[in-house]
A and B are shown apart, each in its own frame.
Chain A
Amino acid sequence: MAYDEKLIKELEGKAKILRRDAIEMIKAGESGWVGGSFSQADIITALYFHRMKHDPQNPEWEDRDRLIVSKAHCCETVYAALGEAGYFPKKEYQSYGKLGAILQAHTERIVPGVEYSGGSLGQGLSFALGEALAARIGAPKDKSGRPLPRFRVFCIVGDGESDEGQIWEAVMAAAHYKVDNLVAIVDHNKFQSSGKVEERINLDPLPEKWQAFGWDVAEIDGHNFNEILSALEKADKVQGKPHVIIAHTVKCKGVPSFEHKNLHFCKLTDEMYAEAMEALK
């Protein structure tokens, strides 16, 4: 499905801002999670600037859609999205990772707009499940008796993170309880901290695994906004199952000289900063 050209251009522009701001943050903090922040940047953009129902002026709005970034170390593009949306002033970026900062090395609920204090991988999907269940409690029902949830919950999960058993505990429970207002997005950038996912613990066949667990599955190019928006729209329509979007992404996407390198957590040198800012002009 093709969306309006203007919309796509807008979102691509926003994603570039997010990547640039993330680099500024990492420069201020001297180190950061370049690879995973960049691979998820387009998905984050689509969620905060198109799909999710939320209000930066009212972060506690009870019926807001929620995003839980379970791979919480990839915090910089999350912070950049929230800063760009107006949840907090962008001057906070300069304090990233410093004593007293709200912008810690792993996302925490102390940041306006952040729903989940992460850092211990494998847990965010359970948290997202809990929030999704809360949206259904006391909700009105349609003619068939299906609850009409008050809000939707999105959860970005890492591919390396999918090694954790707890991910699959949540996957089973979500399918069992037919939590169809829960959308998981796997940022499948093919790397984890110590190397390639296929060399550590091979996840293939990944879509089939989620399908076998009872989820509605989509597989997309995680950097193609038409595909991202289309998958998110389809996830709204399928009832009775939770949804997973397996997004094939590139670690460090956005700066060609970094792409496909496993810059998981790295110091940002002056050269790297210059290369990045040049690519993200």
Chain B
Amino acid sequence: MKRNYVREPLGEMKTMYEAYNEAMLELVKKNGNIVLLYGDFPRGAAGELFQKDYPDRIYDVGIAEANLITTAAGLAGAGKMPFTHCHSIFAVGRAYNQIRQNVAFDRLNVKIVLCNSGMLWTFMGGSHQIIEEIAALRAIPNLVLVSPADPVETRKVTKAVAEHIGPVAIRLSNPPVPTIYEEEYPFELGKAVTLLDGGDATIISTGMMLADSLEAANILAREGINVRLLDMHTLKPIDEEAIISAAKETGAIVTVEDSSIIGGLGGAVAEVVVENSLLPMRRVGIRDRFGQSGTVAELKVEYEISAQHIAQAVRELIGKKKSYR
């Protein structure tokens, strides 16, 4: 089965935050309006450059997420393009009203970097592993929500977000992830990427779960099941056309995320599906549980989001497809 844009073998492991900083280092040379704001958060390479060369364009407000988001809004109000950096759980959790009221309400040009996004933040445990961020942020009007899958996509997302005029939240996972994409592939905010063109079922993945979804697709291919694999990097606005085509052309959809299936990617895809066609769907993700400490591999098994779980979900759906026809 043909694989589009995928490196063979997969490339180096790297964190998304490092990749994001690589992109920022390039952007800062072209865009004098960028301001970096931190909530007691590690600087990264771009932050360190700003500290040295642009000290009036970098501020850390300490452990004060509400002030972080609203100060960014004020900077945007005066024509700057601020990027805020703090743990996703605290940006979304503690500064939810600020995101909604100070940023999204007036479509201010604030870019909210949701660091250590999603459940797969290992050691930190349940208080820090956010599962509700996709559900919570999708419901805010005007806010674009994007979740890159690997370091290459993280760099492309960062650059696209800087070009986009308006508020954006960017999910960056914590652990190092494999480089899946070739350097050049067609990327556009709001358009899902089709990595595999199979017709037996579709796996729609977001964020770092793409690697596991690819592995699941390989397992299934060896059993004679060829899936379509979509990287839904933009959660809002979601690529409805890609979902509807997948439903029509493959007849079964499995969604994959390291966040709650309630209102997450699974919820978003189900919303499109139910208004456009009826087909069997299964949401692979966190089933309404809080997180806990563990390694990435252990957590994937414990929370049933590993490649094996994804493949099993597809197998079960293939069986159900017949009863929907």
A residues apposed to B, CB below 8 Å:
62, 66, 68, 108-109, 115-117, 119-120, 122-123, 126-139, 147, 165-166, 169-170, 172-173, 177
Contacts and interface: CB of A to CB of B under 8 A. Distances in A.
A172 B62 contact: yes
Q: Which 6 A-B pairs have the closest CB atoms?
A: A130-B74, A134-B78, A126-B70, A169-B67, A169-B64, A127-B74
B80 A127 contact: no
A115 B76 CA distance: 11
21 contacts: A68-B74, A109-B77, A115-B77, A116-B77, A117-B102, A120-B97, A120-B98, A123-B102, A126-B67, A126-B73, A127-B71, A130-B76, A131-B75, A133-B59, A133-B74, A134-B79, A137-B56, A165-B66, A169-B62, A172-B64, A173-B62
B70 A109 contact: no
A130 B78 contact: yes
B195 to A, nearest CB: 40
Given A109-B106, A134-B78, A117 B66 contact: no
Nearest to B97: A120
A85 to B, nearest CB: 20
B70 A137 contact: no
A127 B57 contact: no
A130 B106 CA distance: 15
A130 B98 CA distance: 14
Contacts of B62: 169, 172-173
A278 B74 CA distance: 41
Q: Is the interface of B mostly helix, strand, loop or mixed?
A: helix
Interface string B63-91: 01011011111111111101000000000
A188 B236 CA distance: 43
A197 to B, nearest CB: 22
B74 A117 contact: no
B67 A135 contact: no
Contact of A130 (B56, B64, B73, B97): B73
B61 interface: yes
Contacts of B312: none
Contacts of A166: 64, 66-67, 70, 98
A132 to B, nearest CB: 8
B185 interface: no
- Size bracket of the B interface: 20 to 34
Interface in B5-38: 32, 35
Contacts of B78: 62, 66, 130-131, 134-135
B105 interface: yes
A173 B67 contact: yes
Contacts of A172: 62, 64
Nearest to A128: B74
| Most chain A CB within a 10 A radius of its CB, from B61, B77, B78, B97 | B78
B26 to A, nearest CB: 20
B105 A130 contact: no
A134 B105 contact: no
A82 B59 CA distance: 33
Given A166-B70, A169-B67, A172-B64, A127 B79 contact: no
Contacts of B277: none
A256 to B, nearest CB: 37
A62 B106 CA distance: 18
B110 to A, nearest CB: 10
Interface in B71-125: 71-80, 82, 97-98, 101-102, 105-106
Nearest to A133: B75
B66 A129 contact: no
A119 B101 CA distance: 9
A111 to B, nearest CB: 12
A141 to B, nearest CB: 10
A130 B72 contact: yes
A135 B74 CA distance: 11
Contacts of A68: 74
A133 B71 contact: yes
A131 B75 CA distance: 5
A119 B102 CA distance: 10
A120 B95 CA distance: 12
A226 B160 CA distance: 53
A126 B39 CA distance: 14
A126 B106 contact: no
